[in-house]
Chain A
């Protein structure tokens, strides 16, 4: 009976009214700016003056320039490599927290998450300190006599970018995986065991399917955020490990900036990342189905 809204009408109206300011804020400062960015991506510039219009020139440029293509490819590669480190590590960590350390798992989670709040720039900078040519790792190795020449690949390389990004984003992937693991009843694992399933089999047929939403979120966090980062490559990457984010950023805060081109690039990056993300999650689901 009772038509829902009229029930505790006063209360319901009050809570709904309370949502309005926040919703307006989201619309005005998140949705509208995104639309502005999209509109801008179809504009052009002539000697630093914006020319409104509808032109696909920026998109054509992004797709035809060999430089941008190479950057896109490298970005996808670096982001995938980062994800390949983060997701299995976070998965194993979440598994240990849930099924090995049980109650102490919560504490480990707190410790892992706390590292997020040690400063974003600071952590990247710290990796430069550690991996630098005369940095902590090289100087320690030299001091102990293990090497004579500093290892060059450690810094200003794709290696440095991947290592740094992995450390940066790992905690974000642990959280959704841990909550997903909490939904896996211990009984299920024991039942699978009892039925004679091997470890790999349990992983593929029980653990992965049951934590799939968590895996997807973890994947999204690490892949999308790694692909969109421009601070890490500019601090620990070399000229050969610039990512697309650097170029986008330069279009907005650099010499010879070109906002419309940067906007177009941003949308292309987001589109490509979404495509890679969606196809990869499809792949995971497909693999776990048989």
Chain B
């Protein structure tokens, strides 16, 4: 086990990474090739598919809706996730803490399909027509477990004696929260909110059962996929990919900054 970094592990990791990234590479590649028939050999390069994608009148609506949903999810999930994980970490009793944490992670292991249809049933029972609001609720439920999980990992290292120190120096509970707690966990909240935005932007299943006739980028892509091979899908997918990776990398950077400060 010691220092025998043979070739085998490297090859193995390489194969796995290729397995995970080949699909992504294919999409990006075919978003700029002329052949509409997604096959080898490649004939030429073009940006037509991007132009094509944006000429679709549904595209701008879908993008607007997606961004709005992402923003709402980021703010609401960020706020809820932060307060929830802070409460969980602050709890003294170990068992209560573990139980609450598991409960808040539950939506992550329930199949999205089940979450999606249960929300659809719920909103129908309330008499609320399907639409963006319903989808936003779904996005928040889906992203909350991941927000809680990342926040929780960061908060484990939170030094609660700083709060006592603030109180001791004359701060009221509210002032201690405003001056100490919030500034200290702000980077984690922003990181978690960016993650929630990414999850929302990519959400399809729950959206599909709750959005009715409205569009989001994944719903639009789904429609195009069902219809058959359309290279503008690759273009939209690549755009989505850039957005998602940007958000996730930003989320990581924000979180990292906190630990070095």
Residues of A that sit less than 8 Å from B by CB: 4, 8, 10-16, 18-19, 21-23, 25-26, 29-30, 32-34, 36-37, 40, 89, 92-93, 96-97, 99-101, 108, 110-112, 114-115, 117-123, 125-130, 132, 134-136, 138-140, 143, 167, 170-171, 186, 189-190, 193, 220-221, 224-225, 227-231, 235, 245, 248-249, 252-253, 259, 262-263, 266, 269-270
Residues of A within 8 A of B94 (CB): none
Q: How far is the CB of B208 from chain A (nearest CB, A)?
A: 7
Q: How far is the CB of A120 from chain B (nearest CB, A)?
A: 5
Q: Kindly state the interface size class of chain B when it binds its partner.
A: 35 or more
Beta-carbon contact of A14 and B174 below 8 Å = yes
A193 to B4, CA, bound (A): 14
Among A92, A99, A248, A253, contact of B208 (Cβ-Cβ < 8 Å): A253
B112 close to chain A: CB less than 8 A:
yes
- Given A15-B87, A126-B24, A266 and B114 touching (CB < 8 A)? yes
Beta-carbon contact of B117 and A100 below 8 Å = no
Beta-carbon contact of A114 and B248 below 8 Å = yes
A262 to B124, CA, bound (A): 15
- Given A101-B9, A135-B39, A245-B113, A235 and B225 touching (CB < 8 A)? yes
Beta-carbon contact of B118 and A22 below 8 Å = no
B259 close to chain A: CB less than 8 A:
no
B131 close to chain A: CB less than 8 A:
no
B56 close to chain A: CB less than 8 A:
no
Beta-carbon contact of B202 and A259 below 8 Å = no
Beta-carbon contact of A122 and B241 below 8 Å = yes
Residues of B within 8 A of A189 (CB): 1
Residues of B that sit less than 8 Å from A by CB: 1-2, 5, 9, 12-13, 16-17, 19-24, 26-27, 30, 37-41, 79-81, 83-84, 86-88, 90, 92, 103-104, 106-107, 109-122, 125, 137, 140-141, 144, 163-164, 167, 172-174, 176-177, 198, 202-205, 208-209, 218, 221-222, 225, 233, 237, 240-241, 244-245, 247-249, 252
Beta-carbon contact of B22 and A130 below 8 Å = yes
Q: How far is the CB of A224 from chain B (nearest CB, A)?
A: 6
Q: Other CB < 8 Å A-B pairs besides A117-B202, A125-B233, A230-B205, 5 of them?
A: A11-B176, A18-B83, A97-B13, A167-B20, A221-B109
Residues of B within 8 A of A138 (CB): 39
A10 to B172, CA, bound (A): 8
Closest to A246 in B: B113
A119 to B33, CA, bound (A): 20
Beta-carbon contact of A167 and B173 below 8 Å = no
Beta-carbon contact of B5 and A101 below 8 Å = yes
Beta-carbon contact of A123 and B125 below 8 Å = no
Among B1, B121, B163, contact of A263 (Cβ-Cβ < 8 Å): B121
A224 to B32, CA, bound (A): 36
- Given A15-B86, A100-B5, A108-B13, A33 and B111 touching (CB < 8 A)? no
Residues of B within 8 A of A19 (CB): 83-84, 86-88
A57 to B208, CA, bound (A): 27
Beta-carbon contact of A36 and B122 below 8 Å = yes
Residues of A within 8 A of B86 (CB): 15, 18-19
Beta-carbon contact of B12 and A96 below 8 Å = yes
Residues of A within 8 A of B167 (CB): 8, 10-11
Q: How far is the CB of A186 from chain B (nearest CB, A)?
A: 7
